[in-house]
Amino acid sequence: MLSELPLLSLVIWFPILGGIAVLFVGDDNPGRAKWLALTVAILSFLISLPLYSAFDTTTAAMQFQEFMPWIPAFNANYHLGVDGFSMPLILLTAFMTVLVVIAGWEVIQYRVAQYMAAFLIMEGLMIGVFAALDALLFYVFFEAMLIPMFLIIGIWGGPRRVYATLKFFLYTFFGSVFMLIALIYMYNQANSFEILDFHKLPLSITEQTWIFFAFLLGFSVKVPMWPVHTWLPDAHVEAPTGGSVILAAITLKIGGYGFLRFTLPITPDASAMLDWLIITLSLVAVIYIGFVALVQQDMKKLIAYSSIAHMGFVTLGFFIVFGLYRHTGNLNGAAMGVEGGMVQMVSHGFISGALFLCVGVLYDRMHSRQINDYGGVVNTMPVFAAFMVLFGMANAGLPGTSGFVGEFMVILSSFKAGFWLAFLASFTLILGAAYTLWLVKRVIFGDIGNSHVAELEDVNCREIIMLSLLAAAVLLLGLWPDPLTSVMHATVDNLLQHITVTKL
Amino acid sequence: MQNVYLGIVLAPLFGAIIAGLFGRKIGRAGAHWVTIIGVGIAFLLSLVVLRHHVFNGAEPYNDTVYTWMMIEGIRLEVGFLVDNLTAVMICTVTFVSLMVHIYTIGYMHDDDGYQRFFSYIALFTFAMLMLVMANNFLQLFFGWEGVGLVSYLLIGFWYKRESATFASLKAFLVNRVGDFGFLLGIAAVLMAFNSLDYADVFAAAPLMAKVTVQIVPGVDWSLMTVTCILLFIGAMGKSAQVPLHVWLPDSMEGPTPISALIHAATMVTAGIFMVARMSPLFELSETALSFVLVIGPITALFMGFLGIIHNDIKRVVAYSTLSQLGYMTVALGVSAYPAAIFHLMTHAFFKALLFLGAGSVIIAMHHEQDIRKMGGLWKYMPITWLTFLIGTLALIGTPGFSGFYSKDSILEAVHFSHIAGSGFAYFAVMLGVFVTSFYSFRLYFLVFHGKERMDHHTQAHLHETPAVVTLPLILLAIPSVIIGALTIGPLLFGDGFGGSIFVAPEHNVLEHVKEEFHGALNFALHGVIGLPFILVVLGFLTAFILYMLKPELPGLIQQRFAMLYGIMERKYLFDEIYQSVFMRGGRSLGTTLWKYGDAGLIDGLLVNGGARLVGWFAAVARHLQTGYLYTYAFAMIIGLLILLTWFVAR
């Protein structure tokens, strides 16, 4: 019976319609708007669960497919479906939205209904991005997603929010325009917007190279990769806590997802030819950004830079496959790299979300994000300190937490492609621990730093619930990642088979 | 038996979780009871395991608990390998841990973080047990980082102190440098064997002896050499070998019970255990063994020197620990793995005893740790005094005491070794015997004998510590005396470790030692006339003369060699160099990249520069839009002319 329901449409449109309903409840009635938003978010998450439980792990084919003609003139269709890459990200999106609604509960006092609605609509659009199998549909969701985020930062953001929103918008828009050109070009070749048709499209190396760079501009800004990352720290600093959480936990993942869905399968030869570029940029992200994160004075900026460094592992894991294949002549270990990148995406969703929530908890009390304004928080907020240390350790990649799994897999995989790749990537062990634990030391430990810290109250029940949910996710994924990786195996194998066959 | 093994690891974990999450509800007594019972169960079950494997000779147990991840046909799992090596380790770990738990009741009596402390040490016991019971590299790394985490938490236990939180961060980061190598070593193992399971890896190891890799293009290196050196870098971090030793002396910022448990008896020996476990790999690479054999003696000797000049009672014992870890590393380097584990075990007992004894002194001295302000304590605290003396005698290797058997076996083994570096190692460990004896007795005399140098208030309140403190001292003193004589035969020269340690025939130095071994008593009698014992006596006499007979001499020597003393007091400048190169260097590199790379180049020039360029272009272009009809008409005519010219000229 489950399979007959249009599950994907439900998880896309239910939160969007729910968001609109919240808008109608209106800002005059914040209590009812919040409860309605929470109900919608929880229900959306519950609706998304059958995607996991009814998922067939033995096939790489798209599942839960839905197909309807949309714009017949362009042969564009409302075509949805998920595989082992998109399904976990959809669940992550639905899960994080629940937390964001809880996080904004008492904090947002201004235009509450609009705030909640923005996040619910955002949820539907992001899930749409992951579920779309039609390139035009994908593009529509991809761009539409910018609007709620633009509003979230622009309305509920900090003092420099106008600069941040413009930078965010122009940066991402700049990238995606080139992606659109590539999509239209391929539409002209294939006479279809079906992404799966694009995968089979024979393209010369010149065409592939152009398309590769067009996609790279679109996705690298989202990830973000060095050197197109500078919008992220500004956006995070100005965004409200919930905005930061969604930005870090989900929207960055859309860049990584784009590489898997478009770049690798559509332009395999160009990817093989230019893999050094992505790998170099990834390692620059890990090391260069690691050092930059070390000297940040603003907690949110520090976590933002840490996000960039961690996302470096995602792109590294995705593109290690070519070097590995050239170096060893077989694909042993390649799946570990790609799945490692995927695990890193999900894990980073939890951890960065949790860290931004932690900063939010402090910011709500002290109205400062400067590390120097804190010190000795453990004395007044012991429960919070325990959470912060846990998430800090997860960010530093401690085994037993989810942060370890992806990095471990990517390092193991890259060692097979070359010792020095793994050597450079492993710097994250030291740098990640250095910037995270130094942050923890300065904020959490020590004697009470000032009179404001002395007056802090520990986390309340609501905050404990949201942090506990994330702590459980981080530990579960760290202690037992198999439930996540096992849904990807077939999809990853299929991708690897696909991209090692030349299109020329 | 599987339930027994599970019980060993889960009982302490259960205690840790209860004490950690519900500490406030169950209260102080509840927290110490739940953890002590947990660790006590683990200890009793460990004894069952010891009997089962070592005495009844059961086959090693190797099975999966659960599959962590299955990928590309490689099973990454959590599972147990229990053989004789593991059995010895878990008994040592749980016994010392139990003693430390009991001792903590007294030592942390007035501390606000009582429940938290018990939760941490029980959690540590769990992680350490997972480490030694692992049957694969992944779980080894889990335990490895788990003990590192608890060590971090415990060094920074008194989080209000800046020095403590600094030391904890330092310990974690220095260990991360070691883990850097360790993780790459694990990656090398996976690449070579396509498995992380010990059994698979060790079975296939001989096939890999001749395989080479090119790390630097054009240069062929043995894959096993690279792998083993990488793994050993991990051991250097955890077991505090030069140059990654800098965290251990600072770790003394933590409460004394954990200095005994973590930073002397168990965690720091994890690296030693790991190399012994990996003996089938290390045996394939003499280069790697030589590397080990260079690091070990340097640590053993030069860290011993520092024990001579420092004045903080815990730091002296810490330097002694570093030096003894060096001895174990030397034993690994000459392929005398059983001797290394044997010394690890005896050292766990007597060093835990010394640390807990030092803690007892610290309690009595009202948290004064400077040995220059102590003296004559023997008559105030007889149990502490006698047990500390026993620990000292065991440490220096007095014939008959446990430390004698293990240390002398190492000396003998080095003597018979022929691999590169063994000559240097022999010299260093021999000289180290004198140094050990000297700093140990210096400490002992300054603390327990001679003039009472404390203030009157402290002196008036001096008394023996309570029974929860002295009982563990007594219980640890017993094995410090007898365990060596009892176990040297079966462990070193019998089949005590079963098949868990592999030694290539050409490296088997213990075989030579065995030829000269005729029972424990004979070994001790033989030891009395040996060179090491002469060095021990010389060390004792030197300390006796300098600190009992002529207490004014050390000051004079210090003045005479002021420069050398200065370098030693600053710990050979390691800390200064690391701080300026890595800490300050890292920060200024970060600032440079941020200010000039991100803010200057990317944002300043490209992003905002791009925006400015658009703005500038618009400003220029705006001048075209004058709003005057004649300008537009003029432009149209000019344009028309150009077009016409082009058409005609074409």
* Chain A residues lying within 8 Å of B579, measured CB to CB: none
Smallest CA-to-CA distance from B447 within B356, B365, B391 is with B365
Mean pLDDT check: name the lowest of A172-176, B11-15, B371-375. Answer: A172-176
Check CB contact of B587 with chain A, cutoff 8 Å: yes
Mean of pLDDT over chain A: 90
Q: What is the pLDDT of residue B410?
A: 92
Give one DSSP letter per residue of B78-138, joined into a string. EEEEESHHHHHHHHHHHHHHHHHHHHHHHHTTT-TTHHHHHHHHHHHHHHHHHHHHBSBHH
Asked if A124 and A15 count as a contact pair (C-beta separation under 8 A), the reply is yes
Average pLDDT on B413-436 reads: 91
Contacts of B640 (CB under 8 A, 6+ apart): none
For B144, name the nearest residue in chain A, comparing CA atoms only: A399
| Rounded Cα gap, residues A275 and A316, in angstroms | 9
| Rounded Cα gap, residues A232 and A218, in angstroms | 15
Average pLDDT on A242-248 reads: 92
For B66, name the nearest residue in chain A, comparing CA atoms only: A480
| Helix ranges (DSSP H) in B239-312 | 247-250, 256-260, 270-277, 279-282, 286-309
Mean of pLDDT over chain B: 89
For A433, name the nearest residue in chain B, comparing CA atoms only: B173
pLDDT-based confidence at residue B94 (cuts at 50, 70, 90): very high
Q: How far is B398 from chain A (nearest CA, A)?
A: 42
Structural tokens at position B229: 């050196």
Average pLDDT on B366-380 reads: 88
Average pLDDT on B244-269 reads: 90
| Rounded Cα gap, residues A256 and A88, in angstroms | 13
Mean pLDDT comparison of B40-54, B508-522, B601-615, B619-633, highest-scoring range = B40-54
* Chain A residues lying within 8 Å of B177, measured CB to CB: 430
Biggest alpha carbon distance in chain A?
Answer: 69
Question: Do the bridges between strand A63-71 and strand A76-82 make them parallel or antiparallel, or are there none, so unpaired?
Answer: antiparallel
The amino acid at residue A213 is F
- Interface contact A292-B597, CB threshold 8 A: yes
- Interface contact A430-B180, CB threshold 8 A: yes
Give one DSSP letter per residue of B556-600, joined into a string. HHHHHTHHHHHHHHTGGGHHHHHIIIIIIHHHHHHHHIIIIIIII
| Percent of chain A topping pLDDT 70 | 99
* Chain B residues lying within 8 Å of A422, measured CB to CB: 184, 187
Biggest alpha carbon distance in chain B?
Answer: 120
Give one DSSP letter per residue of A239-251, joined into a string. S-HHHHHHIIIII
- Interface contact B160-A429, CB threshold 8 A: no
- Interface contact A446-B187, CB threshold 8 A: no
- Interface contact B176-A293, CB threshold 8 A: no
* Chain B residues lying within 8 Å of A408, measured CB to CB: 183
A-contacting residues in B 339-398 (Cβ below 8 Å): none
* Chain B residues lying within 8 Å of A485, measured CB to CB: 69-71
Q: What is the pLDDT of residue A329?
A: 80
- Interface contact A167-B165, CB threshold 8 A: no
Backbone angles phi, psi at A65, to 5 degrees: -70, 145
Check CB contact of B184 with chain A, cutoff 8 Å: yes
Digit-coded pLDDT (tens) for B138-163? 999 999 999 999 999 999 999 999 89
| Segment holding B77, helix H or strand E | strand B74-82
Exposed, middle or buried: residue B418 (CB in 10 Å: 0-12, 13-18, 19+)? exposed
Number of C-beta neighbours around residue A22 at 10 A: 29
Residue of A482, A489, A491 to mutate, testing the B interface (most B Cβ within 10 Å of its Cβ) = A482
- Interface contact A429-B172, CB threshold 8 A: no
Crossing angle of helices B162-193 and B137-155, in 10° steps, is: 180
B240: left (phi over 0), alpha (psi -120 to 50) or beta: left
Mean pLDDT check: name the lowest of A121-135, A226-240, B322-336, B378-392. Answer: A226-240
Average pLDDT on B548-565 reads: 86
Give one DSSP letter per residue of A156-169, joined into a string. H--TTHHHHHHHHH
Contacts of B157 (CB under 8 A, 6+ apart): B113, B116, B117, B120, B164, B254, B255, B258
- Interface contact A412-B589, CB threshold 8 A: no
Residue of B66, B176, B588 to mutate, testing the A interface (most A Cβ within 10 Å of its Cβ) = B176
| Rounded Cα gap, residues A412 and B107, in angstroms | 44
Digit-coded pLDDT (tens) for A6-50? 889 999 999 999 999 988 887 788 888 889 999 999 999 999 999
Supply the ipTM of this predicted assembly: 0.92
* Start-to-end Cα distance in chain A: 44
Which residue from A412, A437, A446 is facing B159, i.e. has the nearest CB? Answer: A446
pLDDT-based confidence at residue B73 (cuts at 50, 70, 90): confident
- Interface contact B598-A230, CB threshold 8 A: yes
- Interface contact B160-A339, CB threshold 8 A: no
Q: How far is B299 from chain A (nearest CA, A)?
A: 24
What is the sign of the dihedral through the CA atoms of B231, B235, B236 and B241? Answer: negative
Residue of A437, A447, A476, A495 to mutate, testing the B interface (most B Cβ within 10 Å of its Cβ) = A437
Q: How far is B106 from chain A (nearest CA, A)?
A: 24
Give one DSSP letter per residue of A74-119, joined into a string. GTEEEEEEE-TTHHHHHHHHHHHHHHHHHHTTTT--SSHHHHHHHH
Structural tokens at position A316: 């590294």
Q: How many CA atoms lie within 13 A of B197 on its CB side?
A: 22
| Rounded Cα gap, residues A296 and A305, in angstroms | 9
| Segment holding B76, helix H or strand E | strand B74-82
Exposed, middle or buried: residue A174 (CB in 10 Å: 0-12, 13-18, 19+)? middle
Q: How far is A84 from chain B (nearest CA, A)?
A: 14
The strand pairing partners of A63, in sequence order, are: A82
- Interface contact B66-A419, CB threshold 8 A: no
Which residue from B142, B159, B187 is facing A399, i.e. has the nearest CB? Answer: B142
Q: What is the pLDDT of residue A1?
A: 45
Digit-coded pLDDT (tens) for B313-368? 999 999 999 999 999 999 999 999 999 999 999 999 999 999 999 999 998 988 88
Distances (CA, A) of B61 to B45, B82, B91, B138: 15, 5, 16, 18
For A284, name the nearest residue in chain B, comparing CA atoms only: B593
Smallest CA-to-CA distance from B352 within B260, B424, B288, B451 is with B260
Digit-coded pLDDT (tens) for A437-480? 999 999 999 888 888 888 888 889 999 999 999 999 999 999 99
Asked if A248 and A304 count as a contact pair (C-beta separation under 8 A), the reply is yes
pLDDT-based confidence at residue A3 (cuts at 50, 70, 90): low
Give one DSSP letter per residue of A34-77, joined into a string. HHHHHHHHHHHHHHHHHHHHT--TT--S-EEEEEEEEEGGGTEE
Residue with tokens 């996302």: A311
Q: How far is A325 from chain B (nearest CA, A)?
A: 14
| Rounded Cα gap, residues A65 and B12, in angstroms | 49
- Interface contact B160-A399, CB threshold 8 A: no
Digit-coded pLDDT (tens) for A127-182? 999 999 999 999 999 999 888 988 898 888 888 888 888 888 888 888 888 999 99
Would you state the torsion angle of the CA atoms of residues B249, B251, B254, B256, taken in this order, to the nearest 10 degrees?
-50
* Chain A residues lying within 8 Å of B144, measured CB to CB: 399
Q: How far is A124 from chain B (nearest CA, A)?
A: 31
Structural tokens at position B22: 């519900």
A-contacting residues in B 54-73 (Cβ below 8 Å): 66-72
Digit-coded pLDDT (tens) for B568-614? 888 888 888 888 888 888 888 888 888 888 877 887 777 777 778 88
